[in-house]
Amino acid sequence: MRLRTRLFLAAFGIAGLSLLLAAALVAWLLERQLLDRIATDLVAEARLVADLVARSGTAPAVAELDREADSLGDSLGARVTIIETGGRVVGDTAEDGASLAAMENHGARPEIELARSAGIGVTRRYSTTVERDLLYAAVRVEHPRVGFVRLALPLTAVDDQIASVQRGTAVGLLLALAGALVLAWVTSAAMSRRVSAIAAVARRYAAGDPSPQIGAYGDDEIGTVARALDASVQELGRRLAELSRNRRLTDAILAAMTEGVLVVDARGRVKMANDAVRRLLQIEETPVDRHYVELIRHPEVAKQIGRALEVGGSSQTEITLSTEPVRVCLASAAPYTEQDDPGVVIVLHDVGDYRRAVQIRQDFVANVSHELRTPLTAIRGAVDALADETDPASRQRFLDIVARHTTRMERLVTDLLRLARLDAGQEVLRLDSCATASVFSSVAAELAPVLEAKQLRVAPRIEPGAERLAADPVKIHDIIKNLVENAAHYAPARSAIELDAGVEDAEAVVVLRVSDRGPGIPDTDLARVFERFYRVEHSRSRNPGGTGLGLAIVKHLVTLHQGTVEAAHRPGGGSVFTVVLPKRAPSAGAVETPHRLTA
Ligand code: ADP
């Protein structure tokens, strides 16, 4: 049933019931008042008649009394009955003569009995004499013969009056009911309109549109309820927005994390797993709401979660994951307690890089120590020998040893310092347009003594398009010098060292090549020669003046130019080092960025 109908029925029902009750009450009261008044009048008239009879002669004849009754009845508009103390009727408005004499004894009539005992008797009953409902009022008379005077009024007259009162009440009731009907209709319509408007807003809220309702709700309780609804929905909307903002932030943080994060609830169901953990633990399925045992194939991690769930307490374990490449991770498990939803958080931290860095540092320190020990031992030996040596030629020989090894240490320290500067990003690239030919010729000129010593030829070849380079002049010089120095060392005497410059990739890059006809580099070492202190194991070609850092510096400098460098076999024997540089100068911002290398 619609609200409007309910409201209407309720309002109209209450009004109708109240009106009906009121009308019934009014009708009943009026009827009673009317009857009371009629009875009072009748009693008063009966007293009057009794007075008149009492004043009449002491022993009037029956006929006289009957006449009296007739005349009094006429003037009063009621039936007057005069009754002797014994109950015999001696006068009656309705009966005369013989019929009067035939009237039965009235001494036992209820009103007479009441009058006999209380002086007055009023009853309402059916009269067998006149055959209708009558209202009787009897009073005792102080008279030697007459005992009672009774007045009777036919109730048809009374009923007529009552009926007219009831008719009036009914008309009033009908009019009031019609008014109530209209009022109930209008009120229920207005009320249901307001409630419907609020219901429409509530439906809109439920559908997920929390935009506030514009309009007045009114000042009554309905308005208060509507405003409270509005306020709570707005507040709820605000909190939901904040919650989803926080959720997005958490998701973004978790997605950006390199650490793997996995959350498992007390029943072992995965609540959350970020991309990193899925990658590390090689989880391909959708993990949320799955049991961790089904998802995690790594027995150590599964065991750690199980332990944390059963025993509680935090734990840390180092695990090796069979990913490609293999990773070493520190897995930390910590239980979390949330009122009704406890669980365990697992964080996988890839410590491979850290371990590698530690290893590199340790190797580096060992290498530096080793590199320094060789010249130091030689210097120490030479100095000891010098102390006892008196022969000038031998002394000179020992002094030469000291000088050579000091120079070597100097070089080592210079190279180490340079690498440290490059690592710290302290060497800034100052790009310029350099003529390739002059880079080649200045390197050849600087290394002329070395080249001449082995009668080596430098054969530069510059293809069209590669005449100029976008490079830092000092650094490109160092790059080529290092490569040519190595080539000069490893190349056989009287051979040629080729210096080529060309363009590739639709002239996007300049390619510089330094080739020699030396022993070349074994396949397994090609990629590693750029590592610090890495030397190919062929003692025959060991460069006594080398520090083992030259190619590491080259790689650093080339990377600073956003280029690449690699070593390869030269067709026909020997090695070829290829440096690829972007032809156009890289953007200033990118160039100035310090590059850190672990090579
Ligand atoms: P070094 O100072 O010992 O030359 P580098 O870093 O310049 O150190 O070179 C690393 C290693 O690479 C060298 O020890 C050598 O074994 C190898 N290498 C470099 N250049 C050549 C080359 N042109 N021919 C053969 N081997 C080379």
Mean pLDDT of all residues in 201-220: 79
Q: Whose CA is nearest to atom 21 of ligand 1?
A: 486
Q: Is 575's C-beta closer than 6 angstroms to any atom of ligand 1? A: yes
Does the pTM surpass 0.85? The reply is no
Q: What was the pLDDT predicted at 197?
A: 84
Q: Is 515's C-beta closer than 6 angstroms to any atom of ligand 1? A: no
149/91 Cα distance (integer angstroms): 9
Chain segment 259-279, per-residue pLDDT in tens: 999 999 989 999 999 999 998
Are both 354-423 and 432-582 of the same fold? Answer: no
Q: What was the pLDDT predicted at 587?
A: 54
Q: What was the pLDDT predicted at 592?
A: 41
Q: Are 454 and 513 within 8 A, CB to CB?
A: no
Tokens of 477: 């010089």
Superfamily of domain 3-162: PAS domain (3.30.450.20)
| pLDDT over threshold 50, residue 596 | no
Q: Is 574's C-beta closer than 6 angstroms to any atom of ligand 1? A: no
299 residue type, one letter: P
Q: What was the pLDDT predicted at 595?
A: 42
Q: Is 213's C-beta closer than 6 angstroms to any atom of ligand 1? A: no
Which neighbouring-strand residues pair with 576?
515, 568
Unique residue bearing structure tokens 């290092």: 482
Ranges of each domain in the chain? 3-162, 257-350, 354-423, 432-582
For the chain, the C-alpha Rg in angstroms (whole number) is 64
Q: Separation of 521 CA from ligand 1 center, angstroms?
A: 8
Q: What was the pLDDT predicted at 63?
A: 80
* CATH class given for the domain over 354-423: mainly alpha
The number of the ligand 1 atom at minimal distance from the alpha carbon of 545 is 2
Mean pLDDT of all residues in 353-367: 89
73/80 Cα distance (integer angstroms): 5
Q: Is 490's C-beta closer than 6 angstroms to any atom of ligand 1? A: yes
Chain segment 397-447, per-residue pLDDT in tens: 999 999 999 999 999 999 999 999 999 999 999 999 999 999 999 999 999
Chain segment 395-405, per-residue pLDDT in tens: 999 999 999 99
| Structural domain 432-582, CATH architecture | 2-Layer Sandwich (3.30)
CATH number for 257-350: choose from 3.30.450.20, 3.40.1190.20, 2.60.40.420, 3.20.20.150.
3.30.450.20
Q: Give, for ligand 1, the residue of 528, 551, 575 to mutate: max count of ligand atoms closer than 8 Å to Cβ.
A: 551
Percent of the chain with pLDDT over 90: 47
Q: How far apart are the first and last CA of the chain?
A: 84
Average pLDDT, the chain: 88
How would you label 296-318 residue by residue, b for 16+ Cβ within 10 Å and e otherwise?
Answer: bebeebbebbbebbeeeeebeee
Cα dihedral across residues 83, 87, 92, 98: positive or negative: negative
Q: Is 415's C-beta closer than 6 angstroms to any atom of ligand 1? A: no
